[in-house]
Amino acid sequence: MFVSEDPLWYKRAVFYEVLVRGFKDSNGDGTGDLRGLIEKLGYLEWLGVDCLWLLPLYESPLRDGGYDISDYMKILPDFGDLGDFVQLIEAAHERGLRIITDLVMNHTSDRHPWFQASRHDPEGPYGDFYVWSDQPTGYPDAPIIFIGAEESNWTYDPVRKQYYWHRFFHHQPDLNYDNPAVQDAMLEVLRFWLDLGIDGFRLDAVPYLFEREGTACSGLPETHAYLKKVRSEIDRLYPDRVLLAEANGWPEDVVEYFGDPTTGGDECHMAFHFPLMPRIYMAVKKETREPISEIMSRTPKLPEMAQWGIFLRNHDELTLETVTEEERDYMHKEYAKDPRMRAYLGIRRRLAPLLDNNRDLIELFTALLLSLPGSPVMYYGDEIGMGDNIWLEDRDSVRTPMQ
């Protein structure tokens, strides 16, 4: 079997999210790698998945699980090299499996050569690759995402003697997409991986590409204009590839990331339906369909080429951003009684522990996922009822090794 040409394959696909370093170790060094993943393609084919979504595998200091990229065009040596990656793609395609990877467009690691050049040479070619300011007062309406971990979205750099902007951790400076050179550089990154045969990208933190005063710096018109530019490039040169947006918001807002409905959609092909996920848990616990029915009733009709990605769990906390405070308290009471199980505005537990390792409940939740509108996204290990480890820090509690 080989991957066939099908421009709408993602609308019929089951996705399987994989943490490479936690999946299969091929050489006994204690870290999962690409060759290990190749060895397990038969299992994944047997499982019935259609597309693997790989968490970041780029070169990184790993201060944020690989979402702090120090080189977009290199594989983290622990995982292998570009040759191993190409072998993975070819072997997967031979089995009819597709592969997409995470791509962090919004920010880099502070160890990225672009940032080092920017801080050391403000007048050089990379001087304007990041968002710099003499004062940490800009964009006050943009909320801090990692409350408790960061006190500000600005951090002072003693080398450049200015402040740089970051929506996430202080070691992840945001790229300056008002600079056309940054836009072109990111398009070059996309082309590099697509030329290797990748089937698409999950675009991490995509709402935050641009900043404007008087706004929350999220989902701005400039961001959508750039996504249209990216989609145009994809459609022109790489048909059958997919862009999956990570945009945590209400469905009536997230549909904007699909683009113009009159064209069938001219931005991302897919987007996650974040508000649906906690409501599945509430509906089952309360023994009522109302939480699911309510959110589905306010979910707009999608453009012809668009599709929701729906899921029960993933590599982050079970986010409770799109519920009321009362509903959040209820979720904590029912699913995370121990405060150690909580992180940010969510719950850092895997599926099986959330459901008290009850196989009937796990099967019920999975059946619900497979029956709702959208393409299901499974998280590695959930198919075998794998546990978590709340003694690990932050989100690592749910990024445990495959068993």
> Which residue numbers are catalytic?
204, 246
Query: Could you tell me whether strands 342-343 and 375-379 are parallel, antiparallel, or unpaired per DSSP bridges?
Result: unpaired
Which amino acid makes up residue 200? Answer: G
Dmax over CA atoms of the chain, in Å, equals 62
Q: Give 29-37 contacts, CB < 8 A, sequence gap 24+.
A: 29/78, 31/78, 31/79, 32/79, 32/401, 32/402, 33/78, 33/79, 33/80, 33/84, 34/75, 34/79, 34/80, 34/84, 34/85, 34/87, 34/88, 35/80, 35/84, 35/87, 37/88
Query: Residue 271, SS3?
Result: strand
Which amino acid makes up residue 272? Answer: F
Could you write out the three-class secondary structure of 299-319? Answer: CCCCCCCCEEEEECCCCCCEE
How far apart, in whole angstroms, are the C-alpha atoms of residue 222 and residue 211? 9
How far apart, in whole angstroms, are the C-alpha atoms of residue 35 and residue 75? 13
CB 277 within 8 A of CB 310: yes
How far apart, in whole angstroms, are the C-alpha atoms of residue 201 and residue 10? 12
Identify which of 101, 98, 94, 97 has the alpha carbon closest to the alpha carbon of residue 79: 101
Which amino acid makes up residue 184? Answer: D
